[in-house]
């Protein structure tokens, strides 16, 4: 297992190199010039030339690539062109907000989707099952930005229960401070965005739990368990659900990766100061070093989550071994 | 039961949220974060808003864009190329250091230094030298007479020693003389300002300003309506403005902004080189409908680059009434006819095909889709493409477009609205317009210091431009401010300035 993990970790090197190269090349292929955006519409051609030189963008692309790789090898991802701050610091500053949102969304997914799926499966083809199925369908097909704005309209404007935007004090800082009131405040801010972010995953996972559980509940060993006189609760939760878990964990893991790297829309709607917004702004300004650094960061993160998911299989199903 | 208790505890935690504070705090919303707090490096509107609050310029522009004393008490052109300022004494920066002529010299010397990389350097290039004649007197020496200069001297003055020591980091830790000082800045999220106790015009009534960056226009407005913010301004969705006009819960102000939205015609495109075709397109551009229906009256029909509400405005320019018949006639005169009966005009076997482009922006896309329908009626094959700003502007700058819908902002002087845009070889003359008389007039307008004579110069330029149509002026942009009625004394300035917060108050 340790060997397997080490081998997988070693695989990160080509992954990082590949992502780096692709991002680097694609950025230089798409139109849009950071120097032109930097000097703005009132900048002169002379100003643009000067900025291009200062950024080293006048050098041939292979040379730029070589310089960049050399710096990355030394752990230096450069400075953002527009924010004039170390890329690594910007990622460090914004990532906690995104992680916070993703973890809460994950929590909401598990807490809401799993019971819903179980209920739907055990009451298959009843009105309860139908309701869950319809809700799940709605959740998958609803555009996130629409749900987000609607949620703000209802819970902030109409009901006045929750704040309409922002991270407030932030959950991690609040937890560190140990002040319960502050934690409460942070949760108030986080509730709508994490729910918005979770909607799609909740719907996906609920459907998946329902279908995998249904399949397993029809198997012979479940009948045996029932015949043994095990309670229905024990049959569903101990015998059947554990086996349904494998595919659920796979999807949850994939979803978590998506949540980490793809909270862009939610972060923009709720003015949540996370990594997604940082990346979007960077792309809109063609902030090459910042885009490159943050995309590589997200790629490594997703690879890491996938590795953890793979490792968890052995725990869920002891028949699975890594060698 | 255990779960129930836990749930109740969680609910209780959620309920303990809003903490009231005794200080007067103004909560404002902006669409983008400031790129920098260094006034010399400011390139976006949010950076401009911050520098007005943290710094003072030599002058400040009032709601009519007329320069008024700020750090300078008076000024005089001692010759057409020499402008002398008397400075206010006894002013201190936020770090306690005194303000004097050296700070002005430093600010403008660095600004015009090409290596400093100031985005608006081109506005100041005629400044040859800035000299301290005494501790409270500075002299601007110009390479040529430059009438717009005073309009641009509202830029914040930085403390020479502190700014030099901080270098590029000054933009993160600004030190000014202004009514508010920066307390904290969480990039992309929140800017906190506190009243400057030693402000030379007296301590502001508002103790603290908390500015939240909320990119989505709808959400920013909802935040204001639900009481999470006290003040927002443009951009505001026009349909929401229409809904909130006359609201009693909010104070809603509308005025003309210092900007216009226009169609930029690429004159290197053979199709658009015929002025009759350009005039036909102008007649097909129904500015009234665009203003009323698409912008709900927020933006008003465009006339020229001289904006209503400014001293230089004139309506004595060529205007093109919406007239599809006249347009069809002009196109026929230019030799375009539907010879093959496919519904599309053609000439010498080539169809009349035009691509309209703009950046991703719901209102601009709507305008182009509206024009697409209108222009098609007379047999022009129109396609519309809206794409993300960096790619779009790169194409426009490279002359890689036919007709683009773009806007100009912050036009606090007619020179700024025309010199780079219409001069032969001008840096922002994307469509390669060229007219010797216009070039001559643009130089004359720069040099002419008598306002009435200058006004006549720009009126003539505007007549030529509207006659030859390198631009089709679509709408003059509107500027909207909405705030909690408890905010008193906020003066709406077409430039978007928030400077009046220095004396505004927040009634309880």
pLDDT at B146: 94
Beta strands B72-79 and B471-483 are unpaired
Instruction: Specify if B422 maps to a domain.
Output: yes
Does any CB of chain B come closer than 8 Å to the CB of residue A107?
A: no
Written in H, E and C, the secondary structure of B13-57 is HHHCCCCCCCCCEEEEEECCCCCCCCHHHCCCHHHHHHHHHHCCC
Q: Which two tokens stand for residue A237?
A: 């939760």
Beta strands B403-408 and B353-359 are parallel
A179-219 pLDDT per residue, tens: 999 999 999 999 999 999 999 889 999 998 898 888 888 88
- The reply to whether B158 and B263 lie within a common domain is no
Instruction: Specify if B392 maps to a domain.
Output: yes
Closest CA to B363 of B295, B304, B282: B295
Alpha carbon distance B384, B353 (integer Å): 11
A145-169 pLDDT per residue, tens: 899 999 999 999 999 999 999 998 8
Give contacts of B432 with chain A, Cβ < 8 Å: none
Asked if A84 and B186 come within 8 Å (Cβ–Cβ), the reply is no
pLDDT at B15: 45
Q: How far is B426 from chain A (nearest CA, A)?
A: 9
Percent of chain A with pLDDT over 90: 38
Instruction: Specify if B216 maps to a domain.
Output: no
Closest CA to A135 of A209, A206, A194: A206
Range list of β-strands (E), B157-304 = 180-186, 190-195, 208-213, 231-233, 251-265, 300-301
Asked whether B60 and B48 are in contact (CB, 8 A), the reply is no
Tell me which of B162, B187, B222 is where a domain ends: B162
* Maximum average pLDDT range among A212-216, B93-97, B114-118: B93-97
Asked if A149 and B218 come within 8 Å (Cβ–Cβ), the reply is yes
Residues near B346 by beta carbon (within 8 Å), at least 6 away in sequence:
B336, B337, B338, B339, B340, B352
| B interface test, pick of A27, A39, A41 with most B CB neighbours within 10 Å | A41
SS3 B245: coil
Residue B219 has its nearest CB partner, among A42, A45, A164, at A164
Residue whose pair of structure tokens reads 């845009």 in the numeric block: B421
Q: How far is A308 from chain B (nearest CA, A)?
A: 30
Asked whether A256 and A201 are in contact (CB, 8 A), the reply is no
Give contacts of B11 with chain A, Cβ < 8 Å: none
- The reply to whether B266 and B380 lie within a common domain is yes
B55-94: b (≥16 Cβ within 10 Å) or e:
bbbbbbbeeebebeebbbeebebeeebebbbbbbeebebb
- Give the least confident one: A64-78, A249-263, B115-129: A249-263
Average pLDDT over residues B165-181: 94
Per the structure, the complete domain to which residue B466 belongs is given by 258-479
Q: How far is A129 from chain B (nearest CA, A)?
A: 25
Tell me which of B162, B190, B213 is where a domain ends: B162
CA B118 to centroid of chain Cα atoms:
17
Asked if A167 and B115 come within 8 Å (Cβ–Cβ), the reply is no
Give contacts of A165 with chain B, Cβ < 8 Å: 212, 214, 219-220, 223, 228
Q: What is the DSSP code string of B393-453?
A: HHHHHTT--SEEEEEE----STTTTTHHHHSTT-TT-TT----HHHHHHHHHHHH--SHHH
Average pLDDT over residues A103-119: 92
Whole-structure pTM value:
0.87
Residue A304: pLDDT over 90: no
Instruction: Specify if B174 maps to a domain.
Output: no
Instruction: Specify if B224 maps to a domain.
Output: no
ipTM of this complex > 0.90? no
Q: How far is A262 from chain B (nearest CA, A)?
A: 17
SS3 B374: helix
pLDDT at A262: 60
Q: Facing residues of B129 across strands?
A: B141
| B interface test, pick of A26, A27, A28, A32 with most B CB neighbours within 10 Å | A32
Residue whose pair of structure tokens reads 């002359």 in the numeric block: B399
pLDDT band at B312 (very low <50, low <70, confident <90, very high): very high
* Mean per-residue pLDDT of chain A: 87
**How many distinct structural domains can be found in chain B?**
2
Alpha carbon distance A83, B35 (integer Å): 7
Residues near B293 by beta carbon (within 8 Å), at least 6 away in sequence:
none
pLDDT band at A322 (very low <50, low <70, confident <90, very high): low
Asked whether A27 and A291 are in contact (CB, 8 A), the reply is yes
The number of CA neighbours under 13 Å toward the Cβ of A209 is: 31
Alpha carbon distance B245, B102 (integer Å): 48
Does any CB of chain B come closer than 8 Å to the CB of residue A281?
A: yes
Asked if B216 and A167 come within 8 Å (Cβ–Cβ), the reply is no
pLDDT at A73: 87
- The reply to whether B158 and B275 lie within a common domain is no
φ, ψ for residue B262, nearest 5 deg: -150, 165
Give contacts of A90 with chain B, Cβ < 8 Å: 187
Q: What is the DSSP code string of B50-88?
A: HHHHH---SEEE-TT--EEESSEEEEEEEETTEEEEEE-
Largest CA distance in chain A: 85
- The reply to whether B442 and B320 lie within a common domain is yes
Residue A284 has its nearest CB partner, among B18, B188, B388, at B388
Asked if A164 and B218 come within 8 Å (Cβ–Cβ), the reply is no
- Give the least confident one: B7-21, B97-111, B147-161, B395-409: B7-21
Residue whose pair of structure tokens reads 């007619």 in the numeric block: B414
The chain A residue lying nearest B420, using CA atoms, is A42
Alpha carbon distance B141, B129 (integer Å): 5
Percent of chain B with pLDDT over 90: 85
Angle between helical axes of A2-10 and A12-29 (0-180°, round to 10):
20
Average pLDDT over residues B24-44: 93
Instruction: Specify if B81 maps to a domain.
Output: yes
Kindly report the number of other CB atoms within 10 A of residue A137's CB atom: 12
Q: How far is A183 from chain B (nearest CA, A)?
A: 7
Residue B375: pLDDT over 50: yes
Alpha carbon distance B365, B404 (integer Å): 11
Give contacts of A38 with chain B, Cβ < 8 Å: 43, 117, 119
Residue A167 has its nearest CB partner, among B15, B189, B427, at B189
pLDDT band at B18 (very low <50, low <70, confident <90, very high): very low
Asked whether B222 and A156 are in contact (CB, 8 A), the reply is yes
Asked if A160 and B121 come within 8 Å (Cβ–Cβ), the reply is no
Alpha carbon distance A305, A254 (integer Å): 8
pLDDT at B265: 97
Residue B216 has its nearest CB partner, among A85, A153, A268, at A268
pLDDT at B294: 95
CATH label of the domain that carries residue B157 = 3.90.76.10
A44-95 pLDDT per residue, tens: 888 888 889 888 899 999 999 999 999 988 989 998 988 888 999 999 999 9
Q: Which two tokens stand for residue A308?
A: 């953890």
pLDDT at B19: 40
pLDDT band at B382 (very low <50, low <70, confident <90, very high): very high
CATH label of the domain that carries residue B471 = 3.10.105.10
Q: How far is B189 from chain A (nearest CA, A)?
A: 5
pLDDT at B301: 96
- The reply to whether B300 and B405 lie within a common domain is yes
Residue A12: pLDDT over 90: no
Does any CB of chain B come closer than 8 Å to the CB of residue A173?
A: no
Average pLDDT over residues B221-228: 94
Residues near A226 by beta carbon (within 8 Å), at least 6 away in sequence:
A232, A235
Tell me which of B162, B196, B220 is where a domain ends: B162
pLDDT band at B58 (very low <50, low <70, confident <90, very high): very high
pLDDT at B293: 95
pLDDT at B139: 97
Angle between helical axes of A288-316 and A241-261 (0-180°, round to 10):
170
Q: Which two tokens stand for residue B52?
A: 């007005």
Q: How far is A270 from chain B (nearest CA, A)?
A: 7
Asked whether B476 and B300 are in contact (CB, 8 A), the reply is yes
B70-86 pLDDT per residue, tens: 999 999 999 999 999 99
CA B459 to centroid of chain Cα atoms:
22
Asked if B117 and A163 come within 8 Å (Cβ–Cβ), the reply is no
Kindly report the number of other CB atoms within 10 A of residue B250's CB atom: 16
Alpha carbon distance B484, B224 (integer Å): 8
pLDDT at B16: 42
Give contacts of A160 with chain B, Cβ < 8 Å: 226-227
- In this complex, how many residue pairs, one in chain A and one in chain B, have their CB atoms less than 8 Å apart? 150
Does any CB of chain B come closer than 8 Å to the CB of residue A259?
A: no
Instruction: Specify if B395 maps to a domain.
Output: yes
Average pLDDT over residues A101-122: 91
Instruction: Specify if B462 maps to a domain.
Output: yes
Asked if A42 and B120 come within 8 Å (Cβ–Cβ), the reply is yes
* Mean per-residue pLDDT of chain B: 92
Residue A138: pLDDT over 50: yes
pLDDT band at B431 (very low <50, low <70, confident <90, very high): very high
Alpha carbon distance A170, B38 (integer Å): 28
Q: Which two tokens stand for residue A143?
A: 């555009």
């Amino acid at each position: 297992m340790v060997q397997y993990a080490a081998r997988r970790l070693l695989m990160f090197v080509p992954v990082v190199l590949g992502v780096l190269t692709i991002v680097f090349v694609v950025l230089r292929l798409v139109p849009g010039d950071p120097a032109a955006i930097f000097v703005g519409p009132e900048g002169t051609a002379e100003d643009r030339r000067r900025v291009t030189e200062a950024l080293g963008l006048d050098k041939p692309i292979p040379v730029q690539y070589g310089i960049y790789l050399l710096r990355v090898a030394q752990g230096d991802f450069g400075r953002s062109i527009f924010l004039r701050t170390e890329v690594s610091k910007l990622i460090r500053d914004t990532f906690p907000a995104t992680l916070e949102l993703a973890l809460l969304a994950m929590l909401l997914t598990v807490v809401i989707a799993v019971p819903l799926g179980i209920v739907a499966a055990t009451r298959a083809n009843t009105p309860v099952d139908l309701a869950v199925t319809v809700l799940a369908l709605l959740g998958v097909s609803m555009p996130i930005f629409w749900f987000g704005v609607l949620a703000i309209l209802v819970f902030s404007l109409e009901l006045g229960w929750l704040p309409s935007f922002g991270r407030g004090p932030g959950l991690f800082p609040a937890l560190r401070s140990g002040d319960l009131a502050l934690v409460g405040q942070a949760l108030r801010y986080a509730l709508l965005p994490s729910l918005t972010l979770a909607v799609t995953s909740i719907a996906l996972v609920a459907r998946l739990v329902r279908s995998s559980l249904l399949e397993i509940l029809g198997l012979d060993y479940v009948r045996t368990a029932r015949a043994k006189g095990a309670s229905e609760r024990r049959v569903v939760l101990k015998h059947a659900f554990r086996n349904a878990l494998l595919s659920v964990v796979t999807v949850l893991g994939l979803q978590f990766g998506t949540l980490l790297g793809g909270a862009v829309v939610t972060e923009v709607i709720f003015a949540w100061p996370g990594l997604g917004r940082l990346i979007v702004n960077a792309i809109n300004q063609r902030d090459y070093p910042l885009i490159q650094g943050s995309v590589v960061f997200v790629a490594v993160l997703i690879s890491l989550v996938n590795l953890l998911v793979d490792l968890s299989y052995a725990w869920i199903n002891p028949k699975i071994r890594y060698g | 039961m255990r779960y129930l208790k836990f749930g109740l505890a969680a609910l209780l935690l959620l309920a303990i949220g809003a903490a009231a504070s005794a200080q007067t705090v103004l909560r404002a919303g902006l669409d983008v974060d400031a790129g920098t707090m260094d006034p010399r490096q400011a390139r976006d509107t949010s950076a401009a808003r911050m520098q007005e609050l943290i710094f003072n310029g030599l002058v400040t522009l009032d709601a009519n864009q007329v320069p008024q004393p700020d750090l300078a008490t008076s000024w005089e052109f001692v010759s057409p190329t020499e402008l002398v300022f008397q400075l206010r004494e006894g002013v201190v920066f936020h770090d306690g250091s005194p303000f004097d002529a050296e700070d002005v010299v430093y600010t403008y010397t660095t600004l015009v230094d090409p290596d400093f990389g100031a985005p608006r350097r081109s506005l100041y290039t005629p400044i040859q030298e800035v000299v301290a004649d005494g501790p409270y007197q500075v002299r601007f020496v110009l390479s040529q007479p430059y009438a717009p200069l005073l309009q641009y001297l509202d830029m914040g003055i930085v403390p020479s020693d502190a700014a030099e020591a901080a270098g590029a980091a000054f933009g993160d830790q600004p030190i000014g003389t202004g009514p508010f000082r920066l307390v904290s800045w969480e990039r992309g999220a929140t800017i906190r300002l506190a009243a400057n106790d030693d402000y030379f015009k007296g301590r502001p009534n508002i103790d603290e300003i908390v500015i939240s960056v909320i990119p989505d226009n709808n959400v920013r407005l909802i935040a204001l309506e639900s009481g999470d913010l006290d003040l927002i301004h443009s951009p505001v969705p026009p349909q929401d403005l229409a809904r909130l006009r006359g609201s009693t819960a909010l104070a809603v102000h509308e005025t003309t902004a210092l900007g216009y939205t226009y169609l930029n015609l690429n004159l290197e495109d053979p199709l658009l080189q015929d002025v009759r075709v350009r005039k036909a397109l102008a007649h097909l551009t129904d500015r009234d409908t665009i203003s009323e229906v698409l912008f709900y009256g927020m933006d008003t029909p465009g006339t020229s680059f001289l904006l209503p509400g400014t001293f230089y405005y004139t309506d004595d320019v060529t205007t093109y009434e919406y007239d599809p018949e006249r347009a069809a006639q002009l196109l026929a005169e230019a030799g375009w006819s539907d010879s093959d009966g496919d519904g599309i005009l053609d000439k010498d076997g080539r169809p009349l095909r035009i691509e309209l482009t703009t950046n991703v922006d719901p209102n601009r896309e709507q305008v182009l889709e509206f024009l697409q329908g209108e222009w098609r009626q007379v047999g022009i094959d129109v396609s519309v493409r809206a794409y993300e700003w960096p790619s779009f502007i790169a194409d426009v700058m490279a002359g890689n477009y036919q007709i683009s819908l773009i806007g100009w902002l912050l036009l606090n002087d007619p020179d700024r609205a025309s010199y780079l845009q219409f001069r032969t070889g001008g840096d922002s003359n994307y469509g390669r317009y060229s007219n010797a008389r216009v070039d001559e007039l643009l130089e004359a307008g720069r040099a002419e210091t008598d306002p009435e004579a200058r006004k006549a110069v720009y009126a003539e330029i505007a007549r030529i431009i509207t006659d030859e149509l390198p631009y089709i002026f679509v709408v003059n942009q509107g500027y909207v401010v909405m705030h909690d009625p408890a905010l008193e004394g906020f003066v709406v300035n077409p430039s978007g300035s928030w400077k009046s917060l220095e004396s505004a108050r927040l009634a309880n």
